[in-house]
Amino acid sequence: MALKPQDIAVICKLIAQKSSLEWSQNSLAVEMCLSPSQVNSAFKRLVESSLVTPYRPPNKPRPILQSCKNFFTHGVAYAFPAQQGELVRGMPTSYAAPCLKQHIAQGDEPIPVWPYAKGKARGLAIKPLYPALPKALDKFPDQPFYDLLALIDAIRTGKAREKNIAIELLSALLSE
């Protein structure tokens, strides 16, 4: 069973929850604008890929942080490569997102954005890991979740310097 791009978003949401036990697969589905069956299938694929511990009541699945770090830094760019598209309105990602913006000087080039009609920025389209991602972040703001996804996008799309900074910040987030 191969991972799907939305599985990466599901594990990022789980990581963003930290050690909170106040979540369920249904609540994740609502907050991510996914169906409960999509989230359940994602968990099955993530367990099979050794990125999440199996569900064993009363313990909920937890991300295996070292495995996630290794996959995010060395595998995600190959498994789910991103390419820039046309100029669109959207939500900043990669080096243009708040978590990376202060670390990287932005030139005159258009910034990378996830296409989203309600977005406040204009830039080059980067296809999000799943279509409803910008809507989910707009409807249910979650800064740690957004930061993780933007750092992963920087790894997927960035030049060497951007990737290295993103990997450093990602490592720090996963170590907390």
Measured CA to CA, the distance from residue 59 to residue 57 in angstroms comes to: 5
To the question of pTM greater than 0.95 for the whole model, the response is: no
Amino acid at 58: P
Answer with the residue of higher pLDDT: 57 or 67: 67
- Strands 111-115 and 121-126, bridge-based pairing: parallel
Lookup: tokens for 121: 């920025």
Q: Which residues contact 64 (CB under 8 A, 6 or more apart)?
A: 50, 51, 52, 53
pLDDT on residue 104? 80
The fraction of the chain above a pLDDT of 70, given in percent, is: 98
Distance of CA 47 to the CA centre of its chain: 18
Q: Is the pLDDT of residue 58 over 90?
A: no
Lookup: tokens for 83: 């390419």
Give me the chain's average pLDDT, please: 92
Span 85-108, average pLDDT: 89
pLDDT band at 53 (very low <50, low <70, confident <90, very high): very high
Q: Is the pLDDT of residue 101 over 90?
A: no
CB atoms within 10 A of CB 157: 21
Give the length of the chain.
176
Q: Is the pLDDT of residue 146 over 90?
A: yes
Q: Is the pLDDT of residue 175 over 90?
A: no
**Residues 52 and 63 sit within 8 Å (Cβ to Cβ):** yes
Complete domains list, the chain, with CATH: 5-78 (1.10.10.10), 82-175 (no CATH)
pLDDT band at 119 (very low <50, low <70, confident <90, very high): very high
Span 43-50, average pLDDT: 96
Q: Is the pLDDT of residue 160 over 90?
A: no
Answer with the residue of higher pLDDT: 106 or 175: 175
pLDDT on residue 19? 63
